[in-house]
């Protein structure tokens, strides 16, 4: 089969299309014929040598989410048949004609979502559910601040929080991106290049504090996020694009009873991710297509994976970038 291989750590040009052996499913695994694969920032980190694949994934083939049809399956797979259309979260190997996935991490396509679009769902929706809903214990009526609102994660988070009864504030880097987020349901959109987001939120008549921050930025955003949180608020980190270190006021954390936490999804167990899949089926899938839809910005042929990575690194996209074998 054809696959994109990281020939060595480096810039986008190290992604090379090669012929490799097609994997064979083991117990409780399915082999998916890939229709499309999502591009995510962890793929870029892996390409640069900063995010090695776990032992159960190909070391040199990136890709954490796919859509496609089941081509075969191993022992003890009970809920899937050959030919079933699925989208799936994988530990790696998605940039290929075929990929292995734990059966528990596969989901049927939501209503009115086609086979290619479905690749825009797993990594972002699993990540948002894990952080905002499981770790953050979101409740209807709460307000969530999402940094990077026009990213794939941001677009999923806006729709999921709104569908389940929350209010959403986002930051983004242009008026076009802010408009994009408003159309998805954001109650307040702030262009961080023109306004200080902390000041804008505090002065807004629409918002009375923040209950959960989904943080991707880190660095000097951290004390501002904490200043905005209501009592018992939660700052949940999923990336630290402006730096892993920050200065915080510990007394403020104590007085307001704040929680600072975060997670990485890739190293978690199949059982852990399988439970997220079940929750998505119960709580999120019923909102397709009326309140939630996958947002695809651009698709590339698999052979142009390097161009897809360059686009993601430019941060000029809104929504998801997909590769099609």
Q: pLDDT tens digit string along 51-70?
A: 999 988 999 999 999 999 99
User: Residue 145's closest CA among 220, 247, 227, 264?
Assistant: 227
pTM, two decimals, is 0.94
To the nearest whole percent, how much of the chain has pLDDT over 90?
92
Q: What is the mean pLDDT of residues 153-161?
A: 97
Confidence at residue 56, expressed as pLDDT on a 0 to 100 scale:
84
**CA-to-CA dists, residue 162 to 180, 249, 306, angstroms:** 15, 31, 34
Confidence at residue 109, expressed as pLDDT on a 0 to 100 scale:
98
CATH of 125-262, one of 3.40.1160.10, 1.10.300.10, 3.40.50.150, 3.40.50.720: 3.40.50.720
Q: CATH 3.40.50.720 in the chain, residues? A: 125-262
173: burial class by Cβ within 10 Å (0-12, 13-18, 19+)? middle
Region of 250 on the Ramachandran plot (φ > 0 left; ψ -120 to 50 alpha; else beta): alpha
pLDDT band at 28 (very low <50, low <70, confident <90, very high): very high
Q: CATH 3.90.180.10 in the chain, residues? A: 2-121+266-324
Confidence at residue 240, expressed as pLDDT on a 0 to 100 scale:
82
Region of 27 on the Ramachandran plot (φ > 0 left; ψ -120 to 50 alpha; else beta): beta
Is 2-121+266-324 CATH 3.40.630.30?
no
8 A C-beta contact, residue 70 and residue 32: yes
pLDDT band at 129 (very low <50, low <70, confident <90, very high): very high
């Amino acid at each position: 089969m054809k696959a994109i291989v990281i020939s060595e750590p480096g810039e986008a040009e190290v992604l090379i299309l090669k012929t490799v052996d097609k994997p064979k499913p083991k117990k409780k695994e399915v082999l998916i014929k890939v229709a499309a694969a999502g591009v995510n920032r962890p793929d870029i980190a892996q390409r640069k040598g900063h995010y090695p694949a776990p032992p159960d994934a190909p070391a040199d083939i990136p890709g954490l989410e796919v859509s496609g049809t089941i081509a075969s399956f191993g022992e003890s797979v009970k809920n899937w048949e050959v030919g079933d259309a699925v989208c799936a979260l994988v530990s790696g190997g998605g940039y290929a004609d075929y990929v292995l996935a734990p059966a528990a991490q596969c989901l049927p396509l939501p209503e009115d979502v086609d086979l290619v679009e479905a690749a825009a769902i797993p990594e972002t929706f699993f990540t948002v559910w894990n952080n905002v809903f499981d770790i953050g214990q979101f409740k209807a009526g709460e307000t969530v601040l999402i940094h990077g609102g026009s990213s794939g994660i941001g677009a999923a988070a806006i729709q999921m929080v709104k569908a389940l009864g929350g209010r959403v504030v986002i930051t983004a880097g242009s008026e076009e991106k802010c408009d994009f987020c408003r159309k998805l349901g954001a109650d307040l959109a702030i262009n961080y290049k023109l306004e200080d987001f902390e000041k804008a939120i505090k002065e807004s008549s629409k918002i009375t504090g923040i209950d959960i921050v989904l943080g991707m930025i880190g660095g000097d955003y951290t004390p501002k996020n904490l200043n905005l949180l209501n009592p018992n608020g939660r700052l949940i980190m999923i990336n630290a694009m402006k730096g892993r270190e920050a200065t915080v006021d510990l007394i403020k954390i104590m007085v307001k009873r704040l929680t600072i936490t975060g997670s990485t999804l890739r190293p978690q167990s199949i059982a852990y991710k399988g439970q997220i899949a079940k929750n998505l089926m119960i709580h999120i899938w019923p909102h397709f297509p009326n309140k939630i839809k996958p947002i695809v910005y651009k698709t590339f042929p698999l052979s142009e994976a390097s161009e897809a990575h360059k686009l993601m690194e430019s941060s000029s996209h809104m929504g998801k970038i997909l590769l099609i074998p």
